[in-house]
Every structure is written in structure tokens, then in C-alpha cells.
Amino acid sequence: MNFLTLLTLIDWGKLRPEYLFGGQVLERTPAGLSILYIIGIGVLLGFLVITFFDNFRRPKFLFELNLPREVKRKLTQTVANRSVRLWQFVFIGLAFTVFSFQVYWTYFADESNEQFQALAYKDLRSRRTTAANLRGWMLDRTGTLGGALAYYKLDSDGDISRAFALEKEMAHLLGTERGTPGLERTLYRKKANLTPEAWEVLTTIKRKEDEQKDVRVTIDRDLQAFIARQLDGKKGAVVVLNPQNGDILGMYSNPSFNLSEAQNLEDYLKLEGNKRDKPLLNRATREFYAPGSTFKTFTMMSAFRAGKQNAVFASYAGGFKPTRNSRPIVDATQKLLPDGTVTGVCDGGCQE
């Protein structure tokens, strides 16, 4: 069997890149070729650096030791040496040209080259990568498409973009890509991985992702819009809970902002710099308030535990003072003036 016959028996198909880099042709082949390209560039630069410094460490002959510097320079710059050095620079220029070409197609063509954009849209790899990064729909407590809070839609140019039904009413709950995370970043969070993407694609065994990415939350879309209207022009927050199971049916903080206003960094910094209204602050979860009437639940529990649920407390014309110098506590029918005096009549009559 001669050498040519042996060559015909070799299955050259096994040397194709998609066979060498694994079964996942669409992802692993370009990733493997990219890694080989980077390794090749590194080896090339390494040899060039070694060759450059090796010229300075060339061993000298005995007759060169006492020669004048000008004569030594002419001896080292022979025609052959100049030719080799010239080709070194030509090779470096070609290498950087290829590298610049690669950088252009990787980083700039996607935004500036219309022909590349058209071809990339038809590329199955790009479409699969885009689809893998899509988030699911976020539905309200009804779980219907009519109650969608976050969804996808087609733009006029045919691109898929993320859209929100209540951009202002749900701004604090959904959150933005900067600052305090909301439902968007919390529910669709991805693990941070410092591994280069090409190496990860080449070495990681791809597992089938969960096709069901849609999420149903406890928020009632109509109720959320209603409580937002109640706070129109006011500062404050409203939280509506289901006392039976603790579900949050609605939560709104005002002043608020539109999610579209916080997409770019410049507009986000303007919102953050508004120290008077503080539109980015969720007053329902990130602000502190005196408990007010909500604390009456605890005082009532304390009264029952102390056996004073049937106790009758007298009302006085000057209000009730727990201690001599304390602020008087008055009935709802009375009014405490700034100077400390009390006006109005007691509810049910005042005691002497």
C-alpha cells in the first residue's frame, strides 16, 4: 500500500472544525476558531519579541571587538539582515491588519454595517443567542395575557423590544438596570461568570434551558393603576396586602418616574439628582415613618393581655397627660393648639 492509497482511506471529514470542536456545531465551532486565532496571535507576537531582542544579544566575533562603532553598525546591517527586518515589519503590519479587521466585525459592524446586520439577522446562531437572552412575560395575579405587566413587542423596524404596561405605576416594583434591583433583575437574574464566552461555550456541556420563563406575580394590575391615581400630585406610598396570606396586591410610591426615562445613563443621573422629589426612592420599602394609627393594633393587644379591654378612660377639657410635663393627648373632637392649649369639647363629655 503506497502513500497515495493511504491518503484516500483517511476520512478527511473528521478534520472539519465542527467535528473537532464537538457536536454543537452552531456554538462550538466559531468559539473554538476564535480561541485558536487568539492563541496564534499570541504565539506570533511572542516570536517577534524574541527575535527583536535576540538581535541585541548576537555573539560577537573576535575581529569585531576592537572595531569602530560605525564599522560594527555596517557589519550588522547587511543586505540580508535588512531584508529580514523589512519582512518582520511587513508581517507585523499584516497581522495587525487582520486583527483590526476581526475587531471591526466583532465590535463595530453590528451597529454600523447594514449589510452585516441583515446577514446576522438570518444567521441561526445569532437568532438562537438572542432568543436565549429573552426574558419571560411577567403576568399579574390573573395569569392572563391581558394582565401582562412586562412583555415583548415588535418595533417598527422588526426588532423585538421589552415593553411595560404600567411604565410609571410599576416603575419601582419592576426596577431598572441600575440602582436598587426590582422584579425584572430579581426574577430573571443570571449567574455572573468571569470565564470568557468563547471558552465557556467550547468547554461547557450545554443543558436544555427551562422553556417556561413566564412569571405570575401577586400584583393586581387594575388595583395598581387605581392606587397610583389616588396619589396623583401627592407624596407618599400605598401598600395593599391580602391579610389571609400576605400577598402584595398593590404597591406604589409617589413621586415616581417612567421606566423609559431611566434607560440611558444621562437621564438616570437626572432622576438621581432630583433631591427634592426623589423619584427613584421607593417610599414603601426604603423610607422610615412614625407608625401612627397602625400602632393601635399593638396597643389594643397590650390592653387585652392586661385585662383592660372593658376599661373606661375619662376625658378632660385640657386633654390627658400621662406625666406632668408631657404633651396632652386629646379626643378626636378636640384640637391641640401650638401653644399647648386645648379647644373643643370631649367626646361624650369632659370630666372635671
Specify burial of residue 129 (Cβ count, 10 A radius: 0-12, 13-18, 19+).
Answer: middle
* 170 and 227 within one domain: yes
Contact indicator for 16, 28 with CB cutoff of 8 Å = no
Q: Give the model confidence (pLDDT) of 11-41 as tens digits.
A: 655 666 555 555 544 556 666 667 777 787 7
What angle, rounded to 10 degrees, do the helices at 124-132 and 114-122 form? 80
* 151 and 120 within one domain: no
Q: Is residue 289 part of a domain?
A: no
Q: What is the pLDDT of residue 311?
A: 80
* 162 and 119 within one domain: no
**Mean pLDDT of the residues in the chain:** 76
- Please say which residue of 71, 105, 126 terminates a domain: 126
Q: What is the pLDDT of residue 334?
A: 81
Q: Is residue 285 part of a domain?
A: no
Phi, psi at 250, each rounded to 5° = -160, 145
* 250 and 219 within one domain: yes
Q: Count how many domains the chain has.
A: 3
The pLDDT of residue 315 is above 90? no
* 248 and 140 within one domain: yes
* 235 and 206 within one domain: yes
* 219 and 260 within one domain: yes
Q: Is residue 243 part of a domain?
A: yes
- Cis omega (within 30 of 0) for bond into 279: no
The pLDDT of residue 226 is above 90? yes
* 173 and 145 within one domain: yes
* 140 and 50 within one domain: no
* 140 and 109 within one domain: no
Query: If you average pLDDT over residues 99-115, what whole number do you get?
Result: 67
* 30 and 156 within one domain: no
How many residues in the chain?
Answer: 352
Threshold 0.75, pTM exceeds:
no
Chain centroid to CA 127: how far? Answer: 21
* 239 and 138 within one domain: yes
Q: Is residue 141 part of a domain?
A: yes
Q: Is residue 118 part of a domain?
A: yes
Q: In this structure, what C-alpha cell is assigned to residue 51?
A: 527575535
Contact indicator for 318, 330 with CB cutoff of 8 Å = no
- Please say which residue of 273, 292, 316 terminates a domain: 273
Q: Is residue 288 part of a domain?
A: no
Q: Give the residue ranges of DSSP H helices in 169-241.
A: 171-174, 183-187, 197-203, 221-230
**Which DSSP string corresponds to 275-309?**
TTT-TT--TTTS-----GGGGHHHHHHHHHHTT-T
Q: What is the pLDDT of residue 100?
A: 77
**Nearest CA among 36, 14, 17 for reference residue 25:** 17
Q: In this structure, what C-alpha cell is assigned to residue 341?
A: 392649649
Q: What is the pLDDT of residue 182?
A: 85
Q: Is residue 5 part of a domain?
A: no
Which residue range(s) make up the domain with 345? 305-352
Q: In this structure, what C-alpha cell is assigned to residue 125?
A: 446562531
Measure the CA–CA gap between 273 and 28, rounded to whole angstroms. Answer: 46
Q: Is residue 202 part of a domain?
A: yes
